[in-house]
Structure 1
Amino acid sequence: MEKLNLALLIGAAAIIVAIAAVRVAHRIGLPGLLVYLALGLLLGESALGIPFEDAELTHHLGLVGLAVILAEGGITTSWSKVKRAMPAALVLATVGVLVSIAVVAVAVRSLLGASWQVSLLMGAMLASTDAAAVFSVLRRLPLPPRLAGVLEAESGFNDAPAVIIVTLLSAQVIPAPSIVSVASEILLEIAIGAAVGLVVGPVGAYALRRVALPASGLYPIAVLALAFGAYSLAAVLHGSGFLAVYIAALILGNARLPHRPATRGFAEGVGWLAQIGLFMLLGLLASPAELPPVIVPGLVTGCALVLLARPISVAVSALVLRAVAASVRLVRPPGLVLRLVRPEVVGLTWREQAFLSWAGLRGAVPVVFATVPLAEGVPGAKELFNQVFVIVLVFTVLQGPTLPWVARRLGVVAPAEARELDVEAAPLEELKADLLQMRVPPRSRLHGVEIFELRLPQGANVTMIVRNGTSFVPDQATRIQSGDDLLVVTTANCRRETEARLRAVSRRGKLAGWHGEHGD
């Protein structure tokens, strides 16, 4: 128990420090992952002396952490913002990933003399942009919805093909997989993952709309459980769990479910916790003493990634999108396909291409992927892990704070772009107000009472009634009926008086005060 209590104390202190450090990172435009990685390094053997060398445990926990981050990203992403960006995001997440892997592999092979397996592994580990880094930095930039949607959706989709390729290249049972077998494996896993997400998301949303849970706090848990159910089901079926969890979470997050603001807030909290735990764990696994020898190879690889691989992959993806647009002009397919891939939607300007090239942030995802060959015992895997760690640290510091400047120089900012307003943007606590929900029971004296006869205190009002599944805004002459759900907004200082008055009327009717009933 003493060891457990000490571990809990250290963990709680580390999380509090990490949360406090987010404000500093936010002000200078850095993703919080750098702070968490630094805290992990401080907790490790070279500083506070906590020993940790379990690459396999880090690998498994890292995959779970990424699934949590993707689930949070899907739940909090607005479909109305990303739907026009979907063609570009899907091409970047597939064609772009393959091109990036090829360019990095050729560069590492030519410049550093590594074997083809190591070169391809390095390219695959660095091909995926990081959802947490992208969400934390780009959501603060006033970008046009389609451009921001491309980056967000790409970071949600490109983990799937990248992790499949890393796993295949790291597997000792397939030392030299053929291109055909790799391609078929990737396509099969992606198809299974997409199918699972497209089934679990709508089915889960339908079930949550039909089932009345006894407590509002159960809805966020149910949504996350459904998202993880999609991840696990896809993994059991040998599909892409990352793709399944992101698609399912995207559908659930945009469905009209009860207590959506609470679900989004809960998902964001769990996502932050996953980021803190994951990045600190990766920092613990790294050894600062082993990093200096790989700084030069890491910088060479990072420059090849940022200056060659990413721009080339974006340019090739833009060419593919133009080819799609040209085919759309000729074929003119009907319905949804035409709306998604019409030429004015799929095209990318050179300014957008340049910004997408610089904004392909890497974060925890490459470091987590680097634990795969480490756990599989691939020769040279520790050096690969250290190189990836250096690349993430150095280039996140370079790219993150410069994104606002690059966006302004390229003219892709949208200062007047309307921001989505949700409950978290204007919380009731800051307005010193409360939202009360009350269901009228069968034998309540509230039945038949008109709204004005409630005589609620000044500062309280019935703002909505849900009756037989239909919501409407009542007026002062609206009669309350048994089974109604009443939403009452009240100022904080008269909440208790409002609750007492509602109880009093429910017990003795609209003349409750004359009968000595005050709802105590």
Structure 2
Amino acid sequence: MTNALRLSPFDAAAILIVLAAALGYLNFRFLKLPSSIGLTIMGAVASLIVVALDRVLPGSGLAHDVAGFIAGIDFHTTLMEGMLSFLLFAGALHVDWHEMRRGRWAILVLSTIGVVLSTVLVGGGFLLLARVIGFDVPAIWCFVFGALISPTDPVSVMGVLKRAKVSPTLEATVAGESLFNDGVGVVIFSILLASAVSGADFSILEGVRLFAVEAGGGILLGLAIGGIAFRAMRSIDDYKVEVLISLAVVMGGYAVAHPLHASGPVAMAVAGLIIGNAGVAHAMSETTRDYLHKFWDLVDDILNTVLFLLIGLEVVTIPADLRLLILGIAAIPLALAARALSVILPLRAIRPTRAHDVVVPATLIWGGLRGGISVALALGLPEGPARALILAATYVVVLFSVIIQGGTIERLLDRLSARGTAS
């Protein structure tokens, strides 16, 4: 990479924000698509233009420079130690605890057993697809892909739910499942990735132990920091200090999670639920509530915009190999089938009397969008032969999810409701 592209973290952030603002303006002004869909499409088009120019002017090295810029961003650190904490906390603030309690069993089962089942199904299926197409990839890396693609993106899902007309309970169930399956999915991803990188045989018992420690620790940490913040907010009435406390919860709590071996994503989801429900109802004035929501809405929108822009730009980082495209396309029905089974089977087990219900599973399956978090996890993978396969499959699945599923879920739910199947 040239000296001009050896950017500081601030320079990289500045470029992404400027691009996101420019494309966001163009989308709002001309395309008028939902933000996630518009930014993903324009990012992909911009990437294709870069690739085309690089083919026409092979000496320019344009695609190489753009790929170098994207590769120069430490996505694993940026996401795991930064973006994810803000995204999950901001998302949890808007989930209604009372409505979510009605769907608590579905949320619990889908965000744990459902994620594990999906990881296994996608991982096994991806291994078969890769071998059939001609890639000799170790099985553990296929399950790493299953772990990063199985959780749904709370940013994408809640953006869809804001547009779709669904019941408050269903909205809270889908949003709550997305929040917690994301935290659980990151824990599973981290455990599998550590095994893949080390080359050691994966132990199911050790994986279960690590999962229990990290997820359980995350819940306890979230309850602790959320409770402390709630009591602090209730004892004062100053919107600036209270918003600062919420920021301290996210940054300080996430920093504390790592040395305690607790799951930061799970902790942020729990803390966000406490502050967004008990805090908003009993510890804040109307002024504080307004400022808190506007601050976190802005943070959410900025990070959302950057992540979806990066989804579109990611195509530049994928090697030019037709087999990778075929593998990515084949991964779409695999991911959808795994999502369907990991939703329908657990729901049938806990709700056998509502097996005829169509709206809930349809919303969870087709509305279970993959988004920027899956992309960031894939981009953060270490260099190796499996990285290109996982990147390509992640890009194609996420692109399909955001554009096709995200663009049609509202009409699907309207049709189901019109047929009188809404509960």
Paired residue secondary structure (1:139): helix
Corresponding residue of 2:200? 175
Q: Does 1:135 align with 2:158?
A: yes
Q: Does 1:298 align with 2:321?
A: no
Corresponding residue of 2:104? 86
* Structure 1 range deviating more: 283-292 or 106-115: 283-292
* Structure 1 range deviating more: 170-179 or 129-138: 170-179
* Structure 1 range deviating more: 234-243 or 286-295: 286-295
Give 1:141 deviation, angstroms: 0.9
Corresponding residue of 2:78? 61
- Distance in 2 between the 1:252 and 1:311 partners? 33
- CA contact under 8 A between 2:40 and 2:312: conserved in structure 1? no
- CA contact under 8 A between 2:27 and 2:39: conserved in structure 1? no
Q: Does 1:278 align with 2:301?
A: no
Q: Does 1:217 align with 2:225?
A: no
- CA contact under 8 A between 1:61 and 1:278: conserved in structure 2? no
Corresponding residue of 1:19? 24
Corresponding residue of 1:503? none
- CA contact under 8 A between 1:164 and 1:186: conserved in structure 2? yes
Amino acid at match of 1:192: G
Identity among equivalent pairs (%): 26
Matched pairs, number: 390
Q: Does 1:152 align with 2:175?
A: yes
Corresponding residue of 1:406? 412
Give 1:253 deviation, angstroms: 1.6
Corresponding residue of 2:386? 380
Amino acid at match of 1:314: V
Give 1:116 deviation, angstroms: 1.5
- Distance in 2 between the 1:186 and 1:145 partners? 31
Structure 2 residue ranges without an equivalent (≥5):
55-61, 132-136
- CA contact under 8 A between 2:94 and 2:276: conserved in structure 1? yes
- CA contact under 8 A between 1:71 and 1:224: conserved in structure 2? no
Give 1:28 deviation, angstroms: 5.8
Amino acid at match of 1:295: L
TM-score, scaled to structure 2? 0.82
1:265 aligned to which of 294, 303, 307? 294
Amino acid at match of 2:241: L
* Structure 1 range deviating more: 41-50 or 91-100: 41-50
2:396 aligned to which of 369, 390, 393? 390
Give 1:12 deviation, angstroms: 5.3
**Can you list the C-alpha shifts for 1:175-202, whole angstroms capped at 9, x where unaligned?**
3221111111111100000000011112
- Distance in 1 between the 2:296 and 2:272 partners? 10
Normalized per residue, the structure richer in helix is: 2
Corresponding residue of 2:361? 353
- CA contact under 8 A between 1:81 and 1:145: conserved in structure 2? yes
- CA contact under 8 A between 2:90 and 2:297: conserved in structure 1? yes
- Distance in 1 between the 2:39 and 2:85 partners? 16
Give 1:123 deviation, angstroms: 1.0
Give 1:285 deviation, angstroms: 5.3
Cα 1:180–1:288 change in 2 (3 A) is closer
Amino acid at match of 1:357: I
Corresponding residue of 1:228? 251
**Higher normalized contact order (CA 8 Å, seq sep 6+, divided by chain length):** 2
Query: What is the Cα-based RMSD across aligned positions, in Å?
Result: 3.3
Corresponding residue of 1:244? 267
2:114 aligned to which of 96, 107, 128? 96
1:107 aligned to which of 104, 125, 131? 125
Q: Which has the larger radius of gyration?
A: 1
- Distance in 2 between the 1:99 and 1:119 partners? 14
**Can you list the C-alpha shifts for 1:404-442, whole angstroms capped at 9, x where unaligned?**
22112322899999xxxxxxxxxxxxxxxxxxxxxxxxx
Cα 1:127–1:261 change in 2 (3 A) is same
Paired residue secondary structure (1:217): helix
Give 1:122 deviation, angstroms: 1.6
Cα 1:361–1:281 change in 2 (3 A) is closer
- CA contact under 8 A between 1:75 and 1:249: conserved in structure 2? yes
- Distance in 2 between the 1:412 and 1:156 partners? 29
Give 1:160 deviation, angstroms: 2.0
Give 1:363 deviation, angstroms: 0.5
